[in-house]
Structure 1
């Protein structure tokens, strides 16, 4: 009776994949791995952000927001944030600027996937009339978020909630991105990851500045 020698080829493919995923999960690298795959998807251009045409009539989102809050009330009024330096920032202090706000977490692969293209957008539309708010809703504390941002080398402004989260910014998905007009009205909302480093988004933000 011949003895069968064990070979790596005898291990089922599903077991190998499970082992690899288990190692990635235990080392905390699964978020990065999945994020890299999703970043390749964004690079194809099939997940571009959905923004109105520059100069278009107010979107249904803006109309609903105006009806809910009143035309003179800014979205996120009363909301307090904290920068990674710990200094408090009132969301209302940004009124008068076009706001690009992205809600994200460090453990979210789609968030990790879209962040590089948001960084590129931030660099290309640099303006004192456009404010970027990268709002982390991590529960691990500010040091965890700061370590993540420093490791990635991102330079866009990052904040964490320092008061009750505004109802108008609630979403069933992370990441979620809002574009808010200088008058304080939500004019675009994107649930899920998207590519923001494209001409359509840049043109839309610039058109809002010119109004």
Structure 2
């Protein structure tokens, strides 16, 4: 398992590549589910009132390698995020309630995603438990052959294999104003509420990221 961190702070070049990747993703994305409105949206926000302090903690700890991470202004449940698990079964964020989740969208054609994956793998190896999981969702279109080959070649063996070849997850997050490029990373609390988000790569196996996970998981 590779332990070398591919970078420290994300470079301007990688952020630019990520933004371009987002434009490409948006051009080929074809699947969007509607988000709730009215009473349904109000209920979702009410359910996340207890996450306000966690979102503030995210903002306070967003420094160093994860300085681009932003605490959610209004913690809320995210709708329409459906993807497949390792066995091919359909999953939503409700399947992970009880765990703090670092949700990441990546693709093999996204250069900063490829550089970031070993760090996500290392974070899962260090902090993964029944209370925390890195949920890295591949959004390559087509078959599983290319993403699985990439993970094997780079020694990313700790992360479970999550997949959305329809790119519906990316589209849903784009509609929510949370995704403009790749990679996209969200911090979701144990109740399934969004407490932080970030576009672009980061060294997720660094001490700042580990401290963040420890702190928000304890709240």
Give TM-score, length-normalised by structure 1.
0.64
SS at match of 1:195: coil
1:38-49 to structure 2, matched below 5 A, reads 39=6, 42=7, 45-47=8-10
1:182 maps to 2:185: no
The residue number in structure 2 matching 1:52 is 59
Offset from partner CA, 1:49-102 (integer Å, 9 cap, x none): xx5336xxxx97523344xxxxxxx22x35321124323323211122111011
> What is the aligned partner in structure 2 of residue 207 from structure 1?
215
Distance 1:101 1:46 in 2: 20
Structure 1 position 133, deviation (Å)? 0.9
8 Å CA contact 1:83, 1:160 repeated in 2: yes
User: Higher RCO, 1 or 2 (CA under 8 Å, sep at least 6)?
Assistant: 2
Q: CA deviation at 1:162?
A: 7.0
What residue number does 1:16 align with?
Answer: none
Count of aligned residue pairs for this structure pair: 156
Which residues of 2 match residues 1-211 of structure 1 at below 5 A?
A: 39=6, 42=7, 45-47=8-10, 51-53=58-60, 61-66=71-76, 74-75=77-78, 77-154=79-156, 155-161=158-164, 164-165=168-169, 166=172, 167-168=175-176, 170-211=178-219
| Cα RMSD, aligned residues only | 2.6
TM-score, L = length of structure 2? 0.62
Give unpaired runs (5+ residues) of structure 1: 1-37, 67-73
Deviation at 1:134, TM superposition (A): 0.5
- 1:186 Cα deviation from its structure 2 partner: 1.7
Displacement of 1:147: 2.2
Mark the runs of 5 or more structure 2 residues left unpaired by the alignment.
Answer: 12-57, 62-68
4+ residue runs over 3 A deviation: 167-170
Deviation sequence 1:117-148 (CA, Å, 0-9, x none)? 11111111122111221011111322322222
Give the distance between the partners of 1:111 and 1:60, measured in 2 at CA.
Answer: 19
CA contact (8 A) 1:84 1:142 kept: no
Give the conservation status (yes or no) of the 8 Å contact 1:99–1:131. yes
